[in-house]
Amino acid sequence: MAIQQLTDEQIRTWTRAQKDEWWFTNVYRGSMPQLTLRAALTGFLLGAILAATSLYIGGKTGIGIGVGLTSVILSFALFRALHAAGLAEDYTILENNCTQSIATAAGYVVMPLFSSLAAYMLITGRIIPWWQMMIWMVVISILGVLVAFPMKRRFINEDQLPFPEGRASGVVLDSLYTGDAAEGVYKARLLGLVAGATALYQAIVSDGWMKLLQFKILRMDQWAGMKEPWHLHERMDTYYYQVAAKAELWMPKIMGVDFRVLGLRFTLDAAMLGVGGLMGIAVASSCMLGSFINFVILAPIMINAGEIAQRVSPTGAMVAISRAEIVNQWSLWWGVTMMVTGSIVSLLAKPELFMSIFKSWGKKTDVAPQGPDLLAHIEVPLWISYIGVPVFGFLGAWVTHVFFDVPMFLALVSLPLIFVLTIICTNAMALTSWTPTGALSKITQFTMGAIDRSNPASNLLPAGMTSEIASNAANLLSDIKPGYMLGGKPRHQAIGHVIGILAGVIACVPLYFLLFLPADANGVRSTATLVSEQFAMPAALQWKGVAELIAKGLQGLPASALVAMFVAFVSAVAIEVMRIITKGRFPLSSVSIGLGVVLPPESVFAMWIGALLFWFMGRKYKAAGTPGNRLWVDGCEPICAGLISGAALMGIGNAIVNVLLN
């Protein structure tokens, strides 16, 4: 059944009261179950799992992946199977919509863990207690919900803005429940098969799972004489290096620098294949270009010039040159310059996002229509936001001050920026499904840094707070869009979003300590483990780089780094200008090039292989009805989600197993 919607003429000429009456009469499904107990529990559990995968991928790539459509497909398939087995009533379309709202909120809430909070710990060397993480994340995320709802009637009810990502979830839900349900079951089965195969592969390459199987279950250390468990090497080139060392074969080098020192490895990382498929060939190729320029060309030159060298750690141990050292000592600066410059130029190229601020303040809307408000009993009452925003705003500033030593004045001064950034974020999400939080956070960072350069936390945490609130508000409105399309109650989705926030925080903060801050043999944790070969933490390094640049200025940087930053700045401006002139057809992205600099090149190559595969197969089977169209075009997202979830969940499980076995 086609989703009912107003015409462009009706959107332009009708008052909001007329639009509300039309929606209430033609779309609203007040009697249909929505936020039921099973929808809440399913969303909570599914959100916790998907948030864990988001955290895992965020630690590897710095990218926050959307989980809305994945949660729609999984919850639909779960309850369709339970219904077929006679174990449960089938899910209603609005129950499924509430489930995706909860799961999506859980996925979004984890972003500070691999960006601003991680950067704070890297700079200060202080590990934030788990309970402080939880309180801070919950407070600012709920503030985002409170900020969003006064805007809901403007952006969704009145302006009827598209919110493409939210609309896509609404269209998929409608097709599942009013069209061919077999298509939804097919996508869920495809996701499950790929996730299962990926999980099996990930278990074979994981030391913890293999140790559990071979030593604890099969007892092969006792009867087979094994001292170390066997597992397949994820770095496939390991086998060549083993043979080459024994047979004295050629060792790959660039200007005398070993490939392995540069991080140039061939890794079959299933999760990165899936991420590449989702990001597309253009973005993946830009990442590949940045990685090639940095690790194949510039890094060997700088190592030979002595700009990148071995160093002595604070403990007195010699730290050898590695990929991480290359990034931290030299490459980070030009990579961050590319990302920040590209983000800001692309944002400034969209003046309508800034003009929307003045339109929102200046436009006269039908806020108090004559007669009774038809939606008063299903909308979130405005008084909740009018009271909640000041209360939670002050609470957010206070916990930022108490937990992170940010001056109370600076924490309070940053709060007015929330409304400006939220309007920009919401307009961007409404029109493009893109939230420019990277660029917007830098506005707060530089603003706070201009006031206080002595304390990096003074710009990091207020920026993390404002960008997270703005992002959460924009994402909530995107989640509400499918509910509006399908006739759901906004109150239920608001409650669901809060449930999702709690699910994401409860699931991911303990997991964060397990994955990124593991205790040593003496039970001591160190921020030195935050960035590793497995988890590059590129988003945190970007935030850290900007904070250090604000605190120290350009003093202390080598001349070569300053030259590289200048070239990166000019190149980023030129690339973004070309993208503007060509209306997005220019194939390079400066932000993605910078991301390729801070990511491990082996991960970038795996992402590019995944993007290339899906791009090639998508072109080959582009025409509907061709044998591979259903698998490679319609099934692209389920396949990629299966690769990511199978690898991430088994990777997380491997960390847990290692903790239990040690």
Q: What is the mean pLDDT of residues 94-101?
A: 86
What integer pLDDT is reported at residue 631 of this predicted model?
85
What integer pLDDT is reported at residue 554 of this predicted model?
66
What integer pLDDT is reported at residue 341 of this predicted model?
84
Could you tell me the pLDDT band of residue 468, with boundaries at 50, 70 and 90? confident
Segment among 200-209, 363-372, 619-628, 652-661 with least mean pLDDT:
363-372
Segment among 8-22, 476-490, 540-554 with least mean pLDDT:
540-554
What integer pLDDT is reported at residue 351 of this predicted model?
60
CA distance 412 to 399: 11
For Cα atoms 137, 444, 430, give the angle at the middle one, nearest 5 degrees: 75
Q: What is the mean pLDDT of residues 468-493?
A: 84
Q: What is the mean pLDDT of residues 430-440?
A: 62
More confident residue, 222 or 173: 222
10 Å Cβ neighbour count for 235?
16
Number of H helices, E strands in the chain: 31, 4
pLDDT of residue 364 exceeding 50? no
Buried b (16+ CB within 10 A) or exposed e, 555-588: eebbebbeebbeebbebbeebbeebeeeeeeeeb
Q: What is the mean pLDDT of residues 305-314?
A: 81
Instruction: Select the highest-mean-pLDDT range: 159-168, 499-508, 528-537.
Output: 499-508
What integer pLDDT is reported at residue 542 of this predicted model?
77
What integer pLDDT is reported at residue 69 of this predicted model?
66
More confident residue, 7 or 300: 300
CA distance 112 to 282: 27
Say if CB 264 and CB 296 are below 8 A apart. yes
152: tokens are 């809901």
Q: What is the pTM of this model?
A: 0.81
pLDDT of residue 93 exceeding 60? yes
What integer pLDDT is reported at residue 369 of this predicted model?
46
Per-residue pLDDT tens over the stretch 567-605: 999 999 999 899 888 877 888 888 889 888 888 899 899
**Tokens 């809307």 identify what position?**
365
Q: What is the mean pLDDT of residues 635-642?
A: 85
CA distance 334 to 327: 10
pLDDT of residue 9 exceeding 60? yes
Segment among 38-47, 83-92, 94-103, 350-359 with least mean pLDDT:
350-359
Say if CB 604 and CB 596 are below 8 A apart. yes
What integer pLDDT is reported at residue 296 of this predicted model?
95
